[in-house]
Amino acid sequence: MEAVKRNNIGFNSEKLQFKQKVSLYVHTLTEDGLQPLEDKLQAIKDIQTPTNTKELQTLLGMLTYLNRFSTKLAELVVPLRELNKKNVHFRWQPHHQQALDDIKKELSTTKLISYYDPDPNTVTILQCDASTKGLRAWIRQIDQQGQEKIVVMASRCLSPTESRYSNIERECLAVMFGLKKFEYYDTTPNSPQGSEDMKEPPPEERSPVTNNKGGYQIRSQSTRSGRITRIPLKFDE
């Protein structure tokens, strides 16, 4: 209310409500952050095995809105998306059921997405990772009290061509995905990081880092493929 007074903002008392949390579309906004609407989560947890393409498409549509709450969801959905491709006969098999079970398990442990803190004293870290199936990226922040929180997550599947990239190329692709996806967040003071056991590069280097140690050497390799040669140029942009 202090901010409201300072900015001379008025409210209609008949329409104004004070709440500790508000449900908006498929999200619930709380004092601490953003959560998926519980009804939407429960609907997926209770959903029956799809028996045709239309039911599968309904499931995939429901999952689209929950991608921001998991770094694994895009990869887990791959088998179901393959089944939904044009000219693919619908036939539910064990690996499709396993994918659905894994999706339900992942969503049962959904984390709270905290609000981004623009305070320059808050450490902001872009973290990226890649597998043979997908890319994932997320931003975490550490405040002055040492409390860590995740403020945004994203993931996407690899194309058939990208899935054949080398490990280094996929990891670099993940960093580029993260930088592009979260370009509106200020991560300039901190470099993208990988696993906790990695040694961070000096601050002055400002080089993207993932959990692939070979990525550190990408600028210094004497022999590189054309695709790898272009990657540092993308970072420089």
Question: Which residue, among 124, 138, 130, 126, has the nearest Cα to 212 in the 3D structure?
Answer: 130
Q: What is the mean pLDDT of residues 97-113?
A: 89
Query: Is 192 a residue whose pLDDT tops 50?
Result: no
Average pLDDT, integer, range 38-58? 92
Q: What's the pTM value of the predicted model, to 2 decimals?
A: 0.73
pLDDT, position 100: 96
Average the pLDDT over 27-51 and give the result. 89
Tens digits of residue pLDDT in 88-98: 999 999 999 99
With 0-12 / 13-18 / 19 or more C-beta atoms within 10 angstroms meaning exposed / middle / buried, residue 112 is middle
* Cα 90 from Cα 87, distance rounded (Å): 9
- What does the pLDDT look like over 54-81, one tens digit per residue? 999 999 998 988 888 999 999 999 999 9
* Percentage with pLDDT > 90 across the chain: 43
User: What is d(CA 126, CA 33) in angstroms, rounded to the nearest whole number?
Assistant: 19
Residue 195 vs residues 20, 21, 192, 198, 213: alpha-carbon distances, Å: 36, 34, 11, 6, 10
Residue 103 confidence (pLDDT) above 90: yes
What's the CA gap between 180 and 11, in Å, rounded?
38
Average confidence (pLDDT) over 144-148: 88
Q: Per-residue pLDDT tens for 127-145?
A: 999 999 999 999 999 988 8
Domains of the chain: 18-108 (3.30.70), 116-183 (3.10.20.370)
Q: Which residue has the tokens 């590189």?
A: 224
